Chain A
Amino acid sequence: MNLEARLRAATRAMDDPGELDEPGALASVRSRVRTIRRRRRAMATVAAALVVALPVAIVATGDDREPGSVVSPDVTTLPSTVPEPAPTTAPAPTTTAEAVTTATPTTTGAPTTTVAPTTTEVTTTTPPTAPGALDDVLWPAPDGPRFVDAVEAVRSFVAEVVGIGEPPSQLAPARSTGPDTAEVDVFGRNEDGSARDTVVSTVAVRRIDDHWYVTGATAADLVVETPGPREEIGWPVRVAGRGTGYEGTIVVQVRDAFAGPDDLLGLHVAMGGALGELATFEATVAYSAPASDRGFVLVHNDSGLFGIESFTAVPVRFSPAGAGGTTVHATFYRSGEPPPGELVPVARTVPSTTGVLRAALIVLLGGPTLDEQRDGLFSRIPGSPADLEGVDLDGGRAVVRLGERLAPSGTVSAPGMVEQLNATVFQFPNVTSVRYELGTSCEAFSAWAQQPCEHQRAG
């Protein structure tokens, strides 16, 4: 019996928790729900009282904080520049003198720093600036909102691009790094949502025509070694570095410039270090054809409790050779009866290529996108695009070589895997037969797949 069958039998034999007191458990649940509801009603009463009391308090005491200002943990917020009035049709004039104030060190030991001018967010205005000036910008888009406040630009980036929602991250005051550049530290969060005094990521910003733009982000526990900033990347792209995440989970995404968390070009979950210890991670991401030649690689880990903890963003260039795109199909399953369900070909436009068989197999190994998964699609093929070691096509006969690490010793593949491979390979009319190899061995593939390794086009 193989490992999977043994595991199936073992878990079913060992699941018995003993006798259960279901009526007692149900009564306990009901009691707890009643308590929670009582507490909520009490809080609602207090909130209603505050709504009445707060305006009175503000009138009585005044409030000298800027709109939207952030009180970072253990950072003394010093008086900043006077809020700039929001422009209507043209950017508001800003002072030419660098407004310099000094922030007290954070508890993480940051030295006393020069703080970039902070004012408030402005609304959308006409696109700024000379051609090319925004080439390394990740956020905001030239036609999107613009910010005269570096911290607000970062706040918007963290929420709308990185996707850190509730609880929101707390930000430090901007720290000047040059005449028109600055950095903003992002603090971590505790389990209850409060800010920790630990900086998890640092976001770099640049001022162009009096407005602040995000140009990248770094994190001490997520170091991306390849690709480098503004490097031209191929397809699929290999992303590697050192990092740590909850249970070793590190998420690698490829995105168009200005794209948010729901608009991914590609995603792969890699394994790095855990419990704060950095270890190498590597991901090969088969991303969809980008909308422009500019994008970024976003790498983040997970707190295990409330989503993203720290993140790194590396601006990249997409190869102009891929412009235009090529559409290939990969075949996945949609859940249904009988298991594993119905084979469904999915079209994917990838950067332009003549190696369409390889491209289709890479898409297949990459698995369904998040949207496709929400549509019920799944794959029986484990691994990632990196597990495709080679594809040859000679006179209608294809040879597909898969990496040995796809098949841990003693395991067999899930039923339906070969059908997915065949459907993807034989979409191309000029492929008449295929041989699958696992680590250059036909026999190893057969043992793993429990099917022959040689297949002919049906009909």
Chain B
Amino acid sequence: MMAFVSTELGGTAELDPSDSLEALFREHYGSLVRLANVLLGDAARSQEVVQDAFVKLHVKWGGMRHLDRAPAYLRSAVLNGARSSLRRRKVADRHAATAVVSAPSPSAESGALDALDHRRLVAALRRLPARQRAALALRYYLDLPDAEVASAMGISVGSVKTHIHRGLATLGRLVKEEDR
């Protein structure tokens, strides 16, 4: 069985794909599902998208030269999966009478106003086009710099800036509209 050297998963130990997959899964599954959930607002679909990403990663495992790139690959695969999911859902959403916001209830500790603001903002975020949504999530949820957002989304930094710029502008407008 082909072995790989991991720099991400604890130094230079040689790992077989099954062990590495499990380690990656333990380390990243939850955070990737949360990222997908920010984008999709659908916990079940978010888990499917992340599982799809792990399947793709495992299938292409023999072609991966650098195991330390696996987390970045997974993140890109989740973004692409979320985008495809959104695309499939777009037609249905366009015909929906109201925006669908599936967000969990705020925690008891959250102030009611904060919770309201959070729900409203995330609802507005989920109404943005998929790429703007992904760019804003990567920038503000994961705090990634433009270069890493670009790498995760497979687009140029200029394009990232455009998506963030337009996404923020639209987000501000949507929130204001709701304030009226």
Assess whether A335 is in contact with B106, with CB atoms less than 8 Å apart.
Answer: no
The digit string for B124-168, where 1 denotes a CB below 8 A from any CB of A, is 010001111000110011010111101100011111011011101
- Interchain CB contact (< 8 A) of B156 among A13, A271, A373, A376: A373
Chain B residues with CB under 8 Å of A335's CB are 145, 147-148
User: With a CB–CB cut-off of 8 A, which chain A residues contact B136?
Assistant: 7
A411 smallest CB distance to B (angstroms): 6
- Asked whether, in the complex, the Cβ of A411 is within 8 Å of the Cβ of B168, the reply is yes
Q: Is B85 an interface residue (CB 8 A)?
A: no
A379 CB, nearest partner CB in chain B, Å: 6
Given contacts A15-B38, A16-B37, A379-B157, contact A373 B147 (CB under 8 A): yes
> Contacts of B114 on A, CB cut-off 8 Å?
9, 13
- Give A213-251 interface residues, CB cut-off 8 Å to B: 247-249, 251
Q: B118 near A13 (CB under 8 angstroms)?
A: yes
**Which A positions have Cβ atoms within 8 angstroms of B?**
3-4, 6-18, 20, 22, 25-26, 28-30, 32-33, 36-37, 247-249, 251, 267-271, 274, 304-305, 333, 335, 339-341, 366-368, 370, 373, 376-384, 406, 408-411
Cα–Cα, bound, A18→B29 (Å): 13
Q: Is the Cβ of B147 less than 8 Å from the Cβ of A376? A: yes
Residues of A within 8 A of B169 (CB): 408-409
- Asked whether A367 and B161 contact (CB < 8 A) given A15-B38, A16-B34, the answer is yes
A399 to chain B, nearest CB (A): 24
Q: How many interface residues does chain B have, given as a range?
A: 35 or more
Candidates B29, B84, B118, B168; contact of A9 at CB < 8 Å: B118
Additional A-B contacts beyond A20-B30, A367-B156 (10; CB < 8 A): A11-B122, A11-B140, A11-B141, A17-B34, A247-B130, A333-B145, A341-B145, A366-B158, A377-B157, A411-B172
CB nearest to B84 among chain A residues:
A305
Cβ of B64 < 8 Å from any Cβ of A? no
Instruction: Please tell me if the beta carbons of B51 and A10 are within 8 angstroms of each other in the complex.
Output: no
13 contacts between A and B (CB under 8 A): A13-B118, A25-B50, A25-B51, A32-B55, A33-B55, A268-B158, A269-B159, A340-B145, A368-B157, A379-B161, A383-B165, A408-B168, A411-B172
Q: Are A378 and B156 in contact (CB under 8 A)?
A: no
Quick check: is B25 within 8 A (CB to CB) of the other chain? yes
Given contacts A22-B30, A25-B51, contact A249 B118 (CB under 8 A): no
Closest chain B residue to A11 by CB distance? B141
Beta-carbon contact of A3 and B22 below 8 Å:
no
Once the chains bind, are A3 and B171 in contact (CB under 8 Å)?
A: yes
Partner of A378, one of B119, B146, B159, B168: B146
Q: Across the interface, which residues of A come within 8 angstroms of B87, CB to CB?
A: 304
What residues of chain B lie closer than 8 Å to A382, measured between beta carbons?
A: 161, 164-165
Q: In the docked arrangement, what's the CA distance between A459 and B135, Å?
A: 39
B51 proximity list for chain A (CB < 8 A):
25, 28-29, 32
8 A-B pairs closest in CB distance: A378-B147, A17-B43, A269-B159, A10-B118, A408-B169, A10-B121, A11-B141, A378-B146
Do the beta carbons of A7 and B171 come within 8 Å of each other? yes
Q: Is the pair B158, A13 in contact by a Cβ cutoff of 8 Å?
A: no
- A379 proximity list for chain B (CB < 8 A): 146, 157, 161
Contact A22 B129 (CB under 8 A): no
**Cβ of A36 and Cβ of B125 under 8 Å apart?**
no
Partner pick for B34 among A15, A36, A367, CB 8 A cutoff: A15
> Chain B interface (Cβ within 8 Å of chain A)?
18, 21-22, 25-26, 29-30, 33-38, 43, 46-47, 50-51, 54-55, 58-59, 83-84, 87, 103-104, 106-107, 110, 114-115, 117-119, 121-122, 125, 129-132, 136-137, 140-141, 143, 145-148, 150-151, 155-159, 161-162, 164-166, 168-169, 171-172, 175
Given A15-B38, A20-B33: A8 in contact with B145 (beta carbons within 8 A): no
- Chain A interface main SS type: mixed
A373 to B, closest residue via Cβ: B157
Closest to B50 in A: A25
**Interface hub of A14, A20, A410 (most chain B Cβ within 10 A):** A14
Partner of A29 from the list B21, B35, B119, B137 (CB cut-off 8 Å) is B21
**Cβ contacts under 8 Å, B161 to chain A:** 367, 379, 381-383
Pair B110/A13 contact, Cβ less than 8 Å: yes
Given A14-B104, A269-B159, A379-B146, are A36 and B168 neighbors across the interface (CB < 8 Å)?
no
Residue A22 contacts which of B26, B117, B125, B168 (CB distance < 8 angstroms)? B26
Contact of A26 among B25, B130, B164 (CB under 8 A): B25
Contact indicator B158/A29 (Cβ below 8 Å): no
Q: Residues of A contacting B84 with CB < 8 Å?
A: 305
How far is it, in angstroms, between the C-alpha of A33 and the C-alpha of B115 when the chains are bound? 41
Given A10-B118, A378-B146, A15 and B21 contact (CB-CB distance below 8 Å): no
Chain B residue nearest in CB terms to A268? B158
Are B131 and A247 interface neighbours, CB within 8 A?
Answer: yes
Task: Given A7-B140, A14-B104, A16-B34, answer yes or no on A25-B59 (Cβ-Cβ < 8 Å).
Answer: no
Determine the residue in chain B with the shortest Cβ distance to A307.
B154
When the two chains form their complex, are residues A4 and B158 in contact, meaning their CB atoms are under 8 A apart? no
B54 closest partner in A (C-beta): A29
Query: How close is B26's CB to chain A, nearest CB, in angstroms?
Result: 7
Complex CA gap A378/B159 in Å reads 12
Which residues of B lie under 8 Å from residue A15 when comparing CB positions? Answer: 34-35, 37-38, 141
**Is the CB–CB distance between A408 and B165 below 8 Å?**
yes
Closest to A15 in B: B34
The distance in angstroms between the C-alpha atoms of A429 and B71, with both chains bound, is: 45
Residues A378 and B158 in contact, CB atoms below 8 Å apart? no
Collect the chain A residues with CB atoms within 8 Å of residue B156's CB: 267, 269, 367, 370, 373
In the complex the two chains form, what is the Cα distance from A13 to B110 in whole Å?
Answer: 9
On chain A, the residues within 8 Å of B148 by CB distance are 335, 378
B179 smallest CB distance to A (angstroms): 12
**With contacts A3-B171, A373-B147, A408-B165 known, is A36 near B55, CB below 8 A?**
yes
